[in-house]
Amino acid sequence: MLALLAAAAIAFLPDWGRDDARRSTGGDVEPLVVTRAGPLGLIVRSSGMRDGEQIGSAAEGQTLWAECRAVTDFDPRPDTGQGSNWYRVRWPSPEPGKDFLSSTPQDEYTGWVYGAFAAPTTPGGASVPRC
């Protein structure tokens, strides 16, 4: 009985990026700026979950275009004290890789970036909706 209840509860969880990078849903986007990422840049992942893989990198100071924000159960850098906050951003490719790519509002795919190293350009990030 407990297993059945757990399975039912999981079915109703919001989409936190459990799937691979997917096509963008379109709609409004808000700018983010990559901060404190250093020379290696910010990793863009196929999901904001532990099983996500790297699909690119974003350079320090680069603008990314966020569709929404989410909290997952994966915090890759607990030492930041920022929690497991993630942004789903527009991204030009769903393919695994480490190349530095540019994000535009028109990009066809999405990726996920760790919120500790991406800052909304609006105060408090209130304009980036929850996923």
Residue 129 DSSP SS3: coil
pLDDT in tens, 82-130: 889 999 999 999 999 999 999 999 999 999 999 999 998 876 656 889 9
Of all residues in the chain, what percent are helix, strand and coil, respectively (each to 5)? 15, 30, 55
pTM: 0.79
**Residue 35 identity:** T
Give the DSSP letter of residue 116. G
Residue 98 DSSP SS3: coil
